[in-house]
């Protein structure tokens, strides 16, 4: 289990369509990514108009400025940019190459937020490295049997553990 020891653009990309828990081809993930990649531009534009404003505001009130937040399933970065604008250190992860491309294009050369192509089921990130984890409409893409493992991994990523 290789773990990422520093933040860089060198974080390895997971193999598309591969389930890390079983080592077998994973069609539900492959299909989901294909759909998001196909509709990336329109999806990114549409999601801007229905941001979960109350939920985001409630979430950020739990943290002091400068806290590190993981946006798990960040898509085109809508919430990552919001958290960054509020003074948080943000890392966004997603599997859709096209949505991440939009997020990275918007971010330009800015150091915050940072975006990586990673699988929620196998986040190669240092343990105890985040103050909070935001997962807006991302867990619904997992199989029920995968959710508990992802939540355990989220727990290990939190600094308060």
Distance (Å, whole) CA 99 – CA 76: 5
pLDDT of residue 8: 46
Residue 92: strand, helix, or coil: strand
| Of 141, 157, 130, the residue nearest 26 (C-alpha) | 141
Instruction: Say if residue 78's pLDDT is above 70.
Output: yes
Question: pTM value?
Answer: 0.83
| Of 154, 150, 123, the residue nearest 139 (C-alpha) | 150
CB within 8 Å of 83: residues ≥ 6 apart: 56, 60, 69, 71, 90, 113, 134
**Dihedral pair phi/psi, residue 108, rounded to 5°:** 60, -130
pLDDT of residue 132: 98
**Dihedral pair phi/psi, residue 100, rounded to 5°:** -65, -35
Mean pLDDT value across residues 77-101: 97
Distance (Å, whole) CA 5 – CA 129: 10
| Four-point Cα dihedral 107, 57, 96, 66, nearest 10 | 50
Q: Would you place residue 25 in the very low, low, confident or very high pLDDT band (cuts 50, 70, 90)?
A: low
Six token digits for residue 122: 């196998």
Average pLDDT, the chain: 86
Q: Would you place residue 157 in the very low, low, confident or very high pLDDT band (cuts 50, 70, 90)?
A: very high
Mean pLDDT value across residues 17-36: 65
């Amino acid at each position: 289990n290789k773990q990422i020891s520093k933040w860089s653009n060198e974080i390895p990309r997971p193999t598309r369509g591969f389930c890390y828990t079983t080592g077998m081809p994973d069609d539900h993930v492959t299909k989901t990514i294909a759909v998001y990649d196909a509709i990336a531009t329109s999806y990114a534009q549409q999601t801007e108009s229905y941001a979960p404003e109350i939920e985001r505001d409630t979430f950020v009130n739990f943290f002091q400025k400068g806290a590190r937040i993981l946006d798990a399933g960040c898509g085109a970065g809508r919430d990552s940019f919001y958290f960054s604008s509020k003074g948080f250190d943000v890392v966004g992860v997603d599997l859709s190459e096209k949505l991440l491309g939009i997020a990275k294009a918007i971010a330009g050369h800015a150091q915050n937020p940072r975006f990586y192509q990673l699988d929620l089921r196998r986040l190669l990130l240092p343990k105890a490295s985040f103050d909070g984890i935001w997962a807006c409409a991302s867990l619904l893409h997992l199989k029920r049997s995968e959710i508990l493992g992802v939540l355990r991994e989220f727990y290990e990523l939190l600094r308060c553990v």
